[in-house]
Structures are given as structure tokens and as C-alpha cells.
Amino acid sequence: MNIGEKIKRLRVKNGLTQEELANRCELSKGFISQVERDLTSPSISTLVDILQSLGTNLQDFFNEAVAEKVVFRREDIFIKENREMKYDIEWIVPNSQKNQMEPIIISLDVGGTSQVDVPHPGEEFGFVLSGTVFIHLEKQKFRARKGESFYFKPSTTHFISNAGKTRARVLWISAPPSF
């Protein structure tokens, strides 16, 4: 971590000159300049004073935020096949179970069915990319075709099955994650 550069960014973000920051910390403008250029290192107590003047603290200052991945490519996808139930699931956002929603693409061969899921809190949303599916909610059954979507609160057992004569693909999102 480049401490001087990070202090300078915070100073500029707060709209302070080096002199204004120095005055708030009872330091010299030259010392602040040297710190920002990494020519000298402040003591811990001086760093604490500088950070307080910049509206932060040691913990937040040194807590490096990891950049979250935004775009996921084909090579990021994890695929699970279930030949017995005639489906495969593509986890299109790896590790999404740690997020608030979990999108998958489920492909169902003719006669295929997803696993039966038990009631849980949250919401379920699906968009049929190709084919036709049945959405089974306890004893009710709903049909959705290509270009149609479904949405329900998973308060009963639920699953989907292929309702057509061709392979069906569904973008399915569960919030919170449950797949």
C-alpha cells in the first residue's frame, strides 16, 4: 500500500490544501508534502492525527476494499449435470451464494425436472429462454413458454419441469440464494 498517495487522495477528496491539513495536525506543510511523496513516514500517533483530520481512522484507512468482479465470462461458469433428472445447472455468477440473489441457467431435457426445493424465505424469479416449462408450487402447476417469466414467494415446495418436446432453458434467480 502506498500510504502517501492514499493520504493525498483523502486530502484532495476533502478539499484541503497541504497547508490546511498541516495546520489541523499541528505539522508543517513540508512534512505533509514529504509524507504524500513517501519521502518520510509518520509515526503511528502522527498518522492517527492526520487520519482524524481527514475524517477516517487507522482501521478504515488500512482496510483495502477488494474490487468486486462485475463481468463474468463463459470460463467463469460452473456447470453441474444431473443425468437421472435430465437437467444441468450453470452457475453464471460464481460464489453468488454469498450475495443477496443467485442467478442460474437451468436446462431441462425432454422429461427433465429440477430438484424439489422446500419452503424458504425470499423470492424466486425465472425467465424462459427457450422451450416450455411447468412451475410446480405444492399441488398447483403453471405453464411458462419462451419469452415469459414467473415469480413467486417460495412458501411451499416447488420445482420446475420441462413441459414441451424440446430442451428448455430458464434463467432462474433466487433471493436469497438457495440453489
pLDDT in tens, 126-175: 999 999 999 999 999 999 999 999 999 999 999 999 999 999 999 999 99
**pLDDT tens-place string over residues 3-32:** 999 999 999 998 999 999 999 999 999 999
Superfamily of domain 3-62: lambda repressor-like DNA-binding domains (1.10.260.40)
Q: Which tens digits make up the pLDDT trace of 100-133?
A: 899 999 999 999 999 999 999 999 999 999 999 9
Q: What is the DSSP letter of 131?
A: S
Beta carbons of 38 and 5 less than 8 angstroms apart: yes
DSSP strand E in the chain: where? 78-82, 87-91, 102-108, 123-130, 132-137, 140-145, 149-152, 158-162, 168-175
Domain ranges in the chain are: 3-62, 74-175
Q: In the CATH scheme, what architecture does the domain 74-175 have?
A: Sandwich (2.60)
pTM score > 0.85 for this model?
A: no
Residue 66 has pLDDT above 70, yes or no: no
- Sheet strands side by side (includes 140-145): 140-145, 132-137, 158-162
